[in-house]
């Protein structure tokens, strides 16, 4: 008997027992959907993170007063916090650091401000950064329109602002923002520039930002625990390690640290946070794999039970087929094909649902849309293995039935 004939008989048997086949295929679909869906979402988020951090540049590093460790839940590693980097520390470093590079001093003025133009205002989720003349360059921003701050505006703490694309779209739907006055909190600013779209990762908006001169941020958003950030961008990536070593030596000198003392600051390369977040996502990958395998194990047991019941119900049919010349190997292949067909039907459904749900989650978290070919193939291969494992014993049992005894079975 040919493979096509065996497959036709197997599909006919599945059609004759639709309810059992559908339930089993659905269980398999859920397992594959969980596996493919979560892994697709994770891949999309990873792509978004890498893309967003690559915008900052692989040739940059920051000097901050806290480590880059990221805390997830209650068992994560809490970031270390050192003494604040003062304005004097930051400006002295900028003056003394002579390595060929671009150095910027900035400060986070607010994480949750409201920006208002006329009767229109944003949600209270706008980040306000105080930056110097080099901030846009080292932070990976480009100007869509307008200009950067002038040295007089920075030193004179002028009330001028450069706004992100999301802010511009929200407040100035059909109007040119340049030259208009906006309120950031209770302070009034004149818009002198609009940033090009930068994108965001995992919900953190790179376009939901207002940049003001650093001296203005120090005065308007003053708080006692304000800590400055120093960002350095070297010309070429191979120079990064040498630049970091030089920066460490200079800032230790600024802080007057003895040779025997540990650093009381953190030097963080641009891609460190991306690597830590992606590292944390590996736990989600493991969890998805475990969930998928547990679900598929349950489906395999259910499928084996269905196939054993099918062997019992079709004993007479098997006897008739054997009496007219069907060999044990033909019967075995038929039952194996049934099990594999059910698994593949469930697998295809699970892959489709997994891609849809995974990309929906990825897009919700500002990730990209991806087609996970690796996970699609892996899911279908896994279904093939489940079909073989759960159908092998019933197939062997069916092939070993004595044709005379099977014909007498009622």
Cα–Cα distance between 336 and 399 in angstroms, integer? 11
Q: What CA–CA distances, in Å, run from 394 to 294, 332, 387, 400?
A: 22, 8, 11, 10
Please tell me what DSSP assigns to residue 235.
S
Residues 302-324 have pLDDT tens digits of 777 777 777 777 777 777 777 77
| Residue 202 scores a pLDDT above 50 | no
256 Cβ contact partners less than 8 Å away, ≥ 6 residues apart = none
Q: Count the neighbouring beta carbons within 10 Å of the beta carbon of residue 318.
A: 23
Q: Which two tokens stand for residue 355?
A: 């891609």
Measured in degrees and rounded to the nearest 5, phi and psi for residue 244 equal: -65, -45
CB-CB contact of 244 with 191 (8 Å): no
- The predicted model scores a pTM of 0.59
Rg (CA), the chain: 32
Of 380, 390, 370, 279, nearest in space to 35 by CA: 380
Task: Inform me whether the pLDDT recorded for 68 exceeds 70.
Answer: no
Range among 23-32, 166-175, 290-299, 314-323 rated most confident: 166-175
Closest to 338 (Cα-Cα) out of 306, 312, 366: 306
- What pLDDT digit, counting tens, does each position of 15-54 carry? 777 777 787 788 788 878 877 888 888 777 777 666 555 5
Token couple for 221: 């958003």
Main-chain dihedrals φ then ψ at residue 269, nearest 5 degrees: -75, 155
d(CA 134, CA 145): 17
> Among residues of the chain, what percentage have pLDDT more than 90?
30
| β-pair type (160-163, 126-131) | unpaired
Which SS3 state, helix, strand or coil, does residue 204 take?
A: strand
Per domain, the residue ranges of the chain are 3-51+277-408, 59-269
Burial readout 130-153 (b: 16 or more C-beta within 10 A, e: otherwise): bbbbbbbbbbbbeeeebebbeeeb
Give me the chain's average pLDDT, please: 81
Owner of token pair 């309120």: 183
Tell which wins on pLDDT, 182 or 372: 182
Query: What is the spatial distance between Cα 348 and Cα 337, in angstroms, rounded to a whole number?
Result: 16
Asked if residue 387 has pLDDT above 70, the reply is: yes
Residue 149: predicted pLDDT:
94
Position 228 scores a pLDDT of 93
Provide the phi-psi class of 291: left if phi over 0, else alpha when psi is between -120 and 50, else beta: alpha
Dihedral sign for Cα atoms in the order 308, 312, 317, 318: positive
Segment 332-346 mean pLDDT: 82
CA distances (Å), origin 34, targets 22, 224, 387: 18, 48, 18
Q: Which residues have CB under 8 Å from 397's CB, separation 6+?
A: 308, 311
- Residue whose C-alpha is closest to residue 57's, from 27, 17, 101, 105: 101
Backbone region of residue 202 per phi and psi (left: phi > 0; alpha: psi in -120 to 50; beta: other values): left
Residues 260, 270, 149, 127: what is their CA dihedral angle, to the nearest 10 degrees?
Answer: -100
Helix, strand counts (H, E) of the chain = 13, 14
């Amino acid at each position: 008997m040919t493979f096509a004939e065996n497959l036709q008989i197997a599909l006919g048997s599945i059609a004759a027992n639709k309810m059992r086949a559908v339930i089993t295929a659905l269980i398999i679909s859920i397992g594959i959907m969980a596996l493919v869906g979560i892994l697709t979402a994770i891949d999309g988020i990873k792509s978004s993170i890498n893309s967003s951090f690559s915008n900052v540049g692989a040739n940059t590093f920051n000097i901050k007063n806290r480590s880059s460790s990221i805390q997830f839940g209650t068992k994560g590693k809490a970031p270390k916090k050192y003494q604040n980097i003062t304005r004097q520390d930051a400006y002295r470093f900028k003056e003394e650091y002579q390595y060929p590079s671009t150095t910027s001093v900035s400060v986070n003025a607010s994480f949750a401000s409201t920006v208002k133009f006329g009767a229109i205002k944003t949600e209270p989720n706008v980040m306000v950064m105080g930056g110097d003349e080099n901030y846009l360059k080292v932070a990976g921003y480009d100007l869509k329109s307008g200009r950067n701050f002038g040295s007089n505006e920075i030193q004179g703490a002028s009330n001028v602002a450069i706004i992100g694309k999301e802010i511009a779209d929200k407040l100035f739907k059909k109007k040119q923002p340049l030259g208009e006055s906006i309120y950031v909190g209770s302070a009034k600013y004149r818009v002198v520039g609009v940033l090009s779209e930068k994108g965001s990762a995992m919900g953190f908006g790179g376009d939901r930002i207002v940049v003001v001169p650093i001296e203005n941020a120090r005065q308007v958003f003053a708080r006692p625990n304000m800590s400055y950030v120093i960002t350095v961008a070297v010309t070429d990536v191979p120079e990064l390690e040498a630049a970091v070593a030089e920066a460490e030596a200079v800032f230790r000198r600024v802080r007057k640290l003895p040779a025997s003392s540990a650093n009381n600051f953190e030097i963080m390369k641009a891609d460190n946070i991306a690597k830590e977040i992606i590292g944390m996502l590996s736990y989600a990958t493991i969890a998805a794999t475990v969930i998928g395998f547990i679900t598929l194990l349950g489906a395999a047991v259910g499928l084996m039970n269905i196939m054993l019941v099918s062997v019992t119900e079709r004993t007479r049919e098997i006897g008739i087929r054997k009496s007219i010349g069907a060999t044990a190997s033909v019967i075995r292949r038929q039952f194996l094909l049934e099990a594999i067909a059910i698994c593949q039907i469930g697998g295809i459904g699970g892959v489709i649902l997994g891609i849809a749900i995974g990309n929906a989650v990825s897009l919700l978290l500002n990730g990209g849309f991806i087609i996970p070919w690796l996970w699609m193939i892996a899911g279908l291969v896994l279904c093939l293995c489940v079909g073989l494992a759960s159908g092998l014993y019933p197939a062997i049992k069916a092939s070993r039935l004595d044709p005379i005894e099977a014909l007498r079975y009622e």
